[in-house]
Amino acid sequence: MQWAVATYDTAFGYVSAHGAPLLDLLDPQPDERIIDLGCGTGTMTVEIAARGAEVLGIDESVEMVNAARSEHPHLSFAVGDAHDFTISERYDAVFSNSALHWMSRAPSAVISSVHAALRPGGRFVAEMGGAGNCAELIAAVQTAWRVFGLPEPELPWYFPTPAEYAARLEEGGFVIRLMEYSDRPTRLAECPDGAADWVRLFAPELIAEVPPELAGPLLDRVNELAAPALRRESGWMADYVRLRFAAVRKPGGDELVQPPAPQAPPAPQPPPAPQPPPAPHGHPATQAPSAPHLSVSPEG
């Protein structure tokens, strides 16, 4: 997914604006260590840090992480994929706002990585799109693609039901403390071209697969189809449905993420190689802006 990083903060600031109650649910404490997973440009990361916690923002997008670093040079950010990041130290909480539904390749792998990053009793607090999220917008896209004789678009999101995600969390070694599932119609305040702008910003890869001469008429049709449900006199609304949860890592359960190695007959071992000293872990104000203890891509 290629994000329009330059316009993300201004045009889609509402993504983060809705994160304030989630921050209260996280309730970061001074000196806690917290990961902001799918941190984007760091808008929520900086809020967590403002409550005194030491925070590490992780995002798979190099562009997002670069923007986060330049906006918040005193904080730590790293490029990493939520499906398989590994951290050498345990954190007190993992937070995620409006990002888990983008991590659609293997949702249980994301939960496993989060589990491994947390100390026993550590919190996983997040909000994501839930089942039915953007149903009208998506239906308009699918119908428009069909009308134009295009193949069914492959949608990049994972919008689970509360029951489905709760089952994944429990299987992944978490106890659920709160699970909320609610409609949250959201004004597309900065989308003068309504549903078409929403597609351009949140699903640009769908447009990239379309012959260029079709893109304009196709998006016009998306608008026509979505307008009866989503266009008000005051402007366009997105039919958001959110899943918000707080879960706690059960004590133990390391075997969930580190299965025992298969038994093999003992073989003579060479002497162990000298180990480098453990990575330093300072206060965010004194940390280098990358995270030495995170397994990340070279850009991170």
When CB distances to ligand SAM are compared, the closest residue is 40
Per CB under 6 A, the list member of 23, 25, 43, 87 interacting with ligand SAM is: 43
Per CB under 6 A, the list member of 16, 76, 112, 113 interacting with ligand SAM is: 16
Alpha-carbon distance 23 to 125, whole Å? Answer: 9
Per CB under 6 A, the list member of 23, 28, 38, 173 interacting with ligand SAM is: 38
Q: How far is the CB of 17 from ligand SAM (least distance, A)?
A: 9
Pick the closer one to ligand SAM by CB: 225 or 296: 296
**Directed axis angle between helix 194-202 and helix 135-147, to 10°?**
90
Pick the closer one to ligand SAM by CB: 82 or 248: 82
Instruction: Judge whether 230 and 194 are in contact, CB under 8 Å.
Output: yes
15 binds ligand SAM (CB under 6 A): yes
Alpha-carbon distance 271 to 83, whole Å? Answer: 34
Q: Binders of ligand SAM: how many residues, by CB under 6 A?
A: 21
Residues of this chain, 51-110, that bind ligand SAM according to CB under 6 A? 59-61, 64, 81-83, 97-99, 102-103
Alpha-carbon distance 78 to 285, whole Å? Answer: 16
Q: Which residues bind ligand SAM (CB under 6 A)?
A: 3, 15-16, 19, 38-40, 43-44, 59-61, 64, 81-83, 97-99, 102-103
